[in-house]
Amino acid sequence: MTLTIWFSLFTICLLGAMSPGPSLAMVAKHSLAGGRINGFAAAWAHAFGIGVYAFITLIGLAVVLQQSPLLFKGISYAGAAYLIYLGYNALRSKGGVAARLESGEPTPVAQSAREGLLISLLSPKIALFFIALFSQFVAVGDTFAAKSIIVLTPFVVDGLWYTLITFLLSSPKLIDKIRSKAVLIDRLSGCVLILLAARVLLTV
């Protein structure tokens, strides 16, 4: 794999990580409500899910998804259902930013990691991303080193991007400023998540 090809891979992975969506909402929620440890747990669990998709694409299962509409629809519907579940809880401020800040109870790190992992594994957007864009790099992965780079690049890029987001959002000064806006943040997050789920259902 040449440096030019790797830079193309890196750029696509970075743009994919930076695009706003349920992943950003999830990491932001845990960073704001639980602090940096929870944000890191959500961020790197999400990155692990990204790495899983990269590995699946690398070994050719992306082709199976493309050739099996029923399987892909199943993944899409499962992802939409999970987004609706998260959105509904956010609208009720159940387990969201407001509930955590008001109660003062720490969010279990395992919960942050679990939600970060599931939001990546059950996201049709991520599946489409790897099928449509990432799979073009599989052909250059003809050596073990190249294959390792193809899997590790999206994993590391995603993890570092959301680590940066966690650092920014877990600042004590910032938390004090948004504490009064926590309910509004939950409501907006809930609406965004449900709208994303609706978009998935309409486009499957």
pLDDT digits (tens, 9 = 90+) for 55-108: 887 776 656 666 777 876 777 687 778 778 878 877 876 555 555 555 455 678
| Total residue length of the chain | 204
Q: Would the pLDDT of 183 be above 80?
A: no
Q: Would the pLDDT of 17 be above 90?
A: no
Q: Would the pLDDT of 130 be above 90?
A: no
So what's the pLDDT on residue 114?
93
